[in-house]
Chains A and B, each alone.
Chain A
């Protein structure tokens, strides 16, 4: 049996190949342990990179916040950095003022500008009964079909991994202060792992056909910085009350549907 190349596997993981080719790679993977192992390694590398970048973002933001929060101490300037305003500062300030005013108008619920920019508010689906709410830092595995997680300093990363091919993940912006995740029926072995600012939703290879629905993730619209990582690939980001998505199967307003590779 001729094995798949890393280029084919990476393109398959990144959903960068045509449907026919995609089906061929998927068929091969079902039959080939060696290629499945390589695909797993590539996926793990992508997840490691994404994880490192998310932590890097948080650390850089904390450093920047720390500098701003210390007015009594001089902010360290780099050698050679300019203490004066750059030439384009006037224009930039005008731009910022313009968008600041527009942004402020857009924040007002029911304002025409908000509707124009973001569309009408979406319906919020209530989570499953009696969700588990987890605050705080300790990393812990949490059983149950539903969970709510409070962002840390306005930031939250949701990582979804190890679900079977063709499992659907529905990500929605919600008007709540906590994130919500729900597992579908039939995903008894899936689990949540919560740590400060992160929620992992880990599947265990339950065939998608046996799941009674989709994995659902609701992200607070108010997040300063939110991200959804599906099998090592960033598929959604939330900031400024908006969600940007990539590689989705469909998108309708504040709801995006993704599908696990395969």
Chain B
């Protein structure tokens, strides 16, 4: 990979950006939405828009996250306009096979989504970006906060998530 590492400031070629950035961006959107169909669509659309840009790799990464987040927001707004629920994915089991296993899995998914929903959108994005290896300076630039504030915001958001997650787990009477 070393041979293809992009120099800072050099316009990225699309193939490199796709190869380097697709997995993390897909994971980010999937975690945000909990919906693999939405993640597939949003990430493809974001990369399609990247074709029109001439950005260095270090700028393409945060740019894609901003675009993907906006696309997720657009979808949520469109759905609301149509009077549909934002949390659209039904979580009742529809497969008879190993139903109990699936019920537990769906409950775990629901727990994470509810715990993430306890955070502001900014804080949820911040934790998910940190999880993808974004540095504080990049997070600050994307979220429009001071770089020196990110440490405190991360600490507060992590504690809030864990508090919510643990109490949901306790309420469900389960433990990982």
Cα-based distance from A98 to B16 in the complex (angstroms): 12
> Which B8-60 residues have C-beta < 8 A from chain A?
14-15, 18-20, 23-24, 27, 30-31, 34-37, 41, 44-45, 47-48, 51
Secondary structure at chain A's binding surface: helix, strand, loop or mixed?
helix
Number of A-B contacts (CB under 8 A): 151
Cβ-based interface call for B2 (8 A): yes
Question: Is the pair A99, B31 in contact by a Cβ cutoff of 8 Å?
Answer: no
Question: Is the pair B165, A48 in contact by a Cβ cutoff of 8 Å?
Answer: yes
Nearest neighbor of A54 in chain B, beta-carbon distance: B131
Nearest neighbor of A8 in chain B, beta-carbon distance: B151
Interface residues on chain A, number (Cβ under 8 Å): 58
Cβ-based interface call for B159 (8 A): yes
Question: Is the pair B31, A80 in contact by a Cβ cutoff of 8 Å?
Answer: no
Cα-based distance from A60 to B116 in the complex (angstroms): 15
Question: Is the pair B1, A86 in contact by a Cβ cutoff of 8 Å?
Answer: no
Cα-based distance from A102 to B45 in the complex (angstroms): 21
Question: Is the pair B1, A119 in contact by a Cβ cutoff of 8 Å?
Answer: yes
Question: Is the pair B108, A59 in contact by a Cβ cutoff of 8 Å?
Answer: yes
Nearest neighbor of A74 in chain B, beta-carbon distance: B94
- A262 CB to closest chain B CB (Å) equals 17
Which of B24, B149, B158, B166: most chain A CB closer than 10 A?
B158
Q: A6-B152, A56-B112, A116-B4 are in contact. Are A92 and B44 (CB under 8 A)?
A: yes
Question: Is the pair A88, B44 in contact by a Cβ cutoff of 8 Å?
Answer: yes
Cα-based distance from A67 to B132 in the complex (angstroms): 27
Question: Is the pair A66, B158 in contact by a Cβ cutoff of 8 Å?
Answer: no
Secondary structure at chain B's binding surface: helix, strand, loop or mixed?
helix
Question: Is the pair A11, B162 in contact by a Cβ cutoff of 8 Å?
Answer: no
Cβ-based interface call for B135 (8 A): yes
Question: Is the pair A239, B23 in contact by a Cβ cutoff of 8 Å?
Answer: yes
Instruction: Tell me which residues across on chain B come within 8 A of A14, comparing CB atoms.
Output: 130, 136, 151, 154
Cβ-based interface call for B155 (8 A): yes
Instruction: Tell me which residues across on chain B come within 8 A of A48, comparing CB atoms.
Output: 158, 162, 165-166
> Which A91-127 residues have C-beta < 8 A from chain B?
91-92, 95, 98-99, 102, 116-119
Instruction: Tell me which residues across on chain A come within 8 A of B36, comparing CB atoms.
Output: 60, 63-64, 67
Cβ-based interface call for A206 (8 A): no
Q: Encode B73-86 as 1/0 by CB contact (under 8 A) with A.
A: 00000110010100
Instruction: Tell me which residues across on chain B come within 8 A of A53, comparing CB atoms.
Output: 31, 112, 128, 131
B: interface residue count bin: 35 or more
Nearest neighbor of B3 in chain A, beta-carbon distance: A116
Question: Is the pair A91, B18 in contact by a Cβ cutoff of 8 Å?
Answer: no
- B6 CB to closest chain A CB (Å) equals 14
Q: Encode A60-86 as 1/0 by CB contact (under 8 A) with B.
A: 101110110010010010111100001
Cβ-based interface call for B115 (8 A): yes
Cα-based distance from A79 to B87 in the complex (angstroms): 11
Cα-based distance from A29 to B172 in the complex (angstroms): 37
Cβ-based interface call for A42 (8 A): yes
Known pairs A6-B156, A45-B162, A99-B19. 7 more at Cβ < 8 A? Answer: A10-B152, A11-B136, A60-B34, A62-B105, A63-B105, A92-B44, A116-B4
Listed A/B pairs (17) with beta-carbon separation below 8 Å: A7-B151, A10-B152, A42-B155, A42-B158, A42-B159, A48-B158, A49-B131, A53-B128, A56-B31, A57-B30, A60-B34, A63-B105, A76-B94, A95-B14, A99-B18, A119-B2, A244-B133
- Give A contacts to B, CB under 8 Å: 5-11, 14, 16, 41-42, 45-46, 48-53, 55-57, 59-60, 62-64, 66-67, 70, 73, 76, 78-81, 86, 88, 91-92, 95, 98-99, 102, 116-119, 234-235, 237, 239-240, 242, 244, 246-247, 253
Q: Which 4 A-B pairs have the closest CB atoms?
A: A246-B133, A7-B152, A11-B151, A7-B151
- Give B contacts to A, CB under 8 Å: 1-4, 14-15, 18-20, 23-24, 27, 30-31, 34-37, 41, 44-45, 47-48, 51, 78-79, 82, 84, 88-90, 94-95, 102, 105-106, 108-109, 112, 115, 127-128, 130-133, 135-136, 148-152, 154-156, 158-159, 161-162, 165-166, 176
